């Protein structure tokens, strides 16, 4: 597609349920990021994938959070046993390989808005 | 640990004025710096990217500068318009091989018609 695509765009879930959020990066982009933004707050880094290298998981807030990516394609962020503090918009972004002529601009999706009730 | 700060947190200016948004970072060993805008309820839109070797980038009414040694970047908006109202975020990319972006806290800009 032309841009980074995320689904669902909105999700309301009950506390304790598991949720899966999906990200389709721009075709050809090897780098993929997940960020979280709580209402009125800044962006928190969650996880970064670069090609087939081991992901940088240093931002995942707890073991309830996990993410997968197969090769250079779709990524899924999973939150298990959701809590009310997980309510936020989850933003996915992608960029080309570092050093590429394109300058490595990072492109964001519209986000998945998660509300835990 | 890299920390990115944006001042002011909020800014209101009359339409037509020129304005400057500030971004500072504590670790000057960056790969590049990018400015984004975020509209309410939306994702982020990339505005300008400055590589660590560059001093400035321009796109239309926007001009971004980078002084890596002092850990500062500015975003200059000329002849502001109501459509420029948004939150502006700067983000630094840490380096080749360390691709994490650290975002600033943002400046919420309101252009008064």
B49 contacts in chain A (CB < 8 Å): 103-105
Give yes or no for B106 touching A (CB within 8 A): yes
Query: A110–B43: do the CB atoms touch at under 8 Å?
Result: yes
B101 — pLDDT class (breaks 50, 70, 90): confident
Would you list the DSSP string of chain B? ---EEEE-SEEEEETT--EEEEEEES----SEEEEEEE-TTS-EEEEEEEETT-SEEEETTEEEEEEGGGTEEEEEE-S--GGG-EEEEEEEEEETTEEEEEE---EEEEEE-
**Distance of residue A88 Cα from the nearest chain B Cα, in angstroms:** 11
Query: B45–A108: do the CB atoms touch at under 8 Å?
Result: yes
pLDDT in tens, A88-106: 999 999 988 665 444 567 8
Q: Average per-residue pLDDT in chain A?
A: 90
């Amino acid at each position: 597609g032309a841009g980074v695509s995320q689904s669902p765009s909105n999700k309301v879930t009950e506390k304790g349920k598991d949720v899966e959020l999906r990200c389709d990066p721009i075709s050809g982009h090897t780098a993929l990021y997940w960020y979280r933004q709580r209402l009125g707050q800044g962006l928190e880094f969650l996880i970064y994938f670069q090609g087939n290298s081991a992901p940088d998981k240093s931002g995942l807030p707890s073991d309830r959070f996990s993410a997968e990516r197969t090769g250079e394609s779709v990524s899924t962020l999973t939150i298990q046993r959701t809590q009310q503090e997980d309510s936020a918009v989850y933003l996915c972004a992608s960029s080309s390989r570092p050093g590429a002529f394109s300058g490595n601009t990072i492109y964001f999706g519209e986000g998945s808005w998660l509300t835990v009730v | 640990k890299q920390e990115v700060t944006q001042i002011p947190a909020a800014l209101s200016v009359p339409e037509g004025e020129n304005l400057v948004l500030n971004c500072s970072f504590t670790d000057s060993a960056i790969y590049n710096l990018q400015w984004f805008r975020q509209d309410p309820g939306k994702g982020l839109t990339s505005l300008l990217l400055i590589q660590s070797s560059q001093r400035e980038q321009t796109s239309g009414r926007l001009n971004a500068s980078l002084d890596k040694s002092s850990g500062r970047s500015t975003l200059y908006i000329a002849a502001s318009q109501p459509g420029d109202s948004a939150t502006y975020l700067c983000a630094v990319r840490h380096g080749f091989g360390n691709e994490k972006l650290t975002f600033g806290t943002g400046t919420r800009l309101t252009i008064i018609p």
